[in-house]
Structure 1
């Protein structure tokens, strides 16, 4: 892949703003006699020249007063506050550009423009760290061909090194555009004199700084807030700069600002990704081992809020973790199917779900906020695991959406130490997975397996199948390349001041392989990186950033880590997916999800505070002063300077049009702005765009929205007109009747069959104790023997079943629990347990929960077999009301588990599997279907083995097929051999129920897919 670059107006405007400050400077090239130094030991046949090229000084006509006039014109044009005077000594211009908008591209373009207009050709880029240095070098490489095509020439660039001082001579003697990239550490003298300031024998008795200063270079300072301490400012004077340009998203000192594209501008102009946050946080211990995770709160206009809560439930084969929608008053003990861990008052208070602070409060005093977890012995590890899981889940869902568009999705994990990712046992060891790498591979397999059931795109599934969990992640750390040892990841040396790594090896893969990482042929999609690599590099296709280390609010406010993923993504052709390609969908496709260990509210507050700090100099209200002395431009390019009278007219008209109230812009203004219909005063009606541009400088804390990734996209709503359609009314009349059942079977026969099955088939997992014994060697021969762990040898290993009960302090009503599982009487259950073989019954103490689950399942299967043959249904007078459709709250995410539909009574379908999505898709387009509905869970049939809810109710157009009303249950297979026990019993009960209430005027059956449905009704 080769990255493509576009000519973007804002970058050209930034370059023009710098150049226009020097209007009046002629186009000139200047030579001088270059000091070659001591040539005594230099071979005479060496090609040497004493002609040097330097930047021509500012001409006498370009006085400070004229430069200030030029500066004011530039500032008024850009809506910036005019400088009172030049910020000396020298000329110092500031350019503010939000991270991800192409800051490096912009100053490279500015160098070309300054050369084209004025002939200046010597530039020095000063950077604070190795990361930024390597990023700048890579940018100069990748943009070289692009700019050469525009300007007809190439820049010669190099990284300053005291080991390669011949580059300094070439910098001074070459007539082309020359760029030196230099770390501030190379010249920032303190107590010890730097090499750059010394006369060197290797440099023919010259000082490198003297040769550089003679070129009168233009200084470009990248991230000046990290470069310019007191000492550095003094050291910069040694370069004898013609003038200085400073580029950053977060300037500490503004100097003379000539261009601003801040966070608010970048977001509103759709130049960076939209940010979403997903918080996963810890809460304190509550002296319980119960696991509870609050995913989020859902709010409604006409009813109490609900919560999405993660907890464990007792399933068919064991306990599992689920996320369910819960309401005030719900009891986790009941919802978990009676897990004892939730028996201590895990009841949500009636008003315990609070949308104001996104919290849930339980009767036992526990209060959780959105994203928080409690109740695990290793909570920190669990928190990190959940963060990894949520990052993978978000990645797969985003990837499923973008894969067909040819867009590679990358996720980035920031960690604080290499050992969490890779562990080594010796100098020549290839290494093994650390804690986070192990977690990643485990969770990746689980998440992909879980989500594959939702994925219907065969091409994407094939792409997933080709990539293993192990090969799809990679670490980017410093590399130890010591002779005689295998290369291995090591901790970077981190600069205390900048908190970034000074090791160039740490950046090799990130910088040199950026294009390869963007290719769908490259299996690496998940990147683990040291937190010290948080600035100076980025990749446009990072869509998820997960920070697996504690974060302070000050770190979040600095937005350094976030900046790694703000750049708009590219496709497989290297084309930037911006507004010119995507239109209004640009920020929905370009969304950066931050998975953080802070609650969403706290994280959002910290991030917004950082944005507010960076926007502190923006005007806060609309008043007459806002327009004073501004320059308005009409469509023809004509300009007018705003006087006080004109400013008052503009302001009064804004109030009259309802656009301003008490100094703040109103919703009416934003609505008209969105539709392009903003009305302005008659005197400036030809300059409406300029007026809107000035109003856009107002700081509004809501201008840069932060999306809560816990939230949902859509809520399915019932179409009231469809509830009144004759097709629906006829269908509903046929299926809404309730029924009761009677069942009789030989209890003694059931007891004996259950005993036989339990004795023959019941097995539960045993707890084992593993014992390993080793001894230290009699003699230690060497230090290496200790370092490599060879002074100890394992002698014996054994494992045995634990000889103690695992029940602990938990007491079970075993008969009662199995009664709950089976619905049989206590006497019947007691008879079954009493009849079990002693060795089988003894399994209860080995693993109580599993014993109850498996015994209950075996008994239920025997019960179900008896029920099928002996059940009878009878119609009741009671019936379901259509309120069950309006009362059901159905929410989902488009493209993940929600789709818009036309023939359903809902406007969206919330589906549980890819099979349901496909089935509904066929129902929605088939002309034979009049109307259908996915039945809510509150519509159920009572059976002896639990409530049963069919999936679909479908009405066909009369005359197109045999006129039937069909209730369908969709399964991946309708082979009766795969529908055993309880499931088969429920289906048979449903058939008996519909036969009883409809006199065979409605059909109920299990179908595999839509094709089988049509075959049945035709």
Structure 2
């Protein structure tokens, strides 16, 4: 394989005299035609196809008889591989030149982003990706879920000022004349008029060092190359040096957490961090009067963090690495900027060369002379234009805000590749996470990224073993039991592929699987999902709820009617007579073949294979697992199986397997839901109430609770004073509406923490409703205690069997509570019925 690179000729580089054919193009053309033992590759960028004369002019010498490079390239009938295909839409000059003048045998377009084609107008308007003869499509969701790239942990800091309403708005612009700015600070507003060359610090001192460089018909451009349109707002805090300093400190903490783990591996990984900044001059000064404040700020923070690292118990080699870093802070970091190409500074040139071109040197721990190579912090302004990335970037810190959503997605992509160790070997077996640190204006990035990724999820997707493990844990099931249930119901196949025909039914039965992207692949450290954000409990409101809360937290036991024992034995026997005992499972493979019809690539279904396999279980384990899932005594299960074997003579040891187990469990659960509703009662247990989810053992309220226990989502704003908590944490839009609804006559109300009450249900599980209310009667004479089960569904017919069983259990439980002297109204709420209507109905009783 022989690589040649074509670069634009620099001004003044062409010597006088004979105008020779470009050497690398000539080598490519001659080698391709004359040498069959090599593959010749020629690398060039799109600008050479459209702007440079190097390909189009006639030269004094030739290659294989061709004096013009484009004609010479045409003669080789090459294969063209296009990287970054979104830059080569089919109607662009560069692409048309490839088609019409180079005339390749084949074009392979390879990249993460493709151009789009829009057709139709109005309601008929349709936009789709410009895929031509699509051979392979690995969507983002699959890449994350299959651990082909790093996961992402996004993190941001709230503004230091504590105020999110201090903004600068561009109200109007006059091309090449002036721009009008409005500073909004609380309820006060101040107008400013700026001309080209004016400093933005005239509007707010936080913008020190940024100037207005251009005014267009629709917006403005600043000296940090940020472009803002008329009507856009800028958040003041993102330009404040103190805020940037905190972001640097946060990024360094995350970096060293990762670096410590990577260094202590048997095959070490050099850990890099990438910083995107607004202004090159804040890091690198070309003049004596310029002040690189960001560089000084970084070195100060780095020194402090390195000194902290030495206090950790680390191995001797890592200690030496940290000490070498402390001895020369400037060697630990470097930058690359577009202007560096014109710099005469040798150190800048050497730094840029290492970062941009010599990646293996950057990823090494030592220089050739044996001294430590401590450079691992990279600063840049416009990395996208350089096309740079490095697999060992584990932290990206954005000290500036992006413009477009596409830019944001591409920037995070700079750190998603799987890393290599110090020997250049790709590490593909472990899971890695990219720390992605942004300012507060991009606080929603993680959610937006997940939405963007899930747009690409096809109609048929795969679930992962990790997801099965998590869902099984949440439901209190064994992983294999859950897996076999999914197989038995034909929700998935043995390749974990979801059956398209049963997709909706599957997601209704198991909504936990519906999210395309695995839960832990893109996380937001600010939401508290991983670290447990705390929500304050309002103590005065808890005291109003205390009596109701303690009553519904008293422990009760569930007793089935005596007749049920006999019903269970008969039911199990009838289930066995329906032939759930099978010898083996059957699997069918699906094969897709990619072929050409002469013009386009087609995918057709090929011939698959049929597989039969067994998964036997020891009889004692078979009984034990059946007992764990049905709660039927082991003796009863054994008695029924023996009876069936003696009377029907159909059981052999090959039938005692995973498939039979799953079939029996499924059939027995269906029987329970159909036959045991209401055939049980509750009895109060003589147990002293200890601490609860909201209270300490002495009965006093806790100060705070983890957000995830009362709601996975968090809404901005402050809830009504009557609400139990100081934040709006919820799981569904209907719950959010309930929380922000300030209903008359309600004394206090609150979301019930997940799984806190744990009312026992007849299927062996527990149930905890959603809301609790203390309400004043209309005549003011008596308080009403109301418990509400909120279901964000259109009709109660949409309830699953398990949900109906829980609600049925709750109704009987609260009836028993009434018999024991404490009345609680239990109500169900679905879409279309407000909490105010529900309370009004109870008040009218």
**TM-score range, shorter-chain basis?**
0.3 to 0.5
TM-score scaled by length of structure 2: 0.43
TM-score when scaled to structure 1?
0.36
**Structure (1 or 2) with the larger CA radius of gyration:** 1
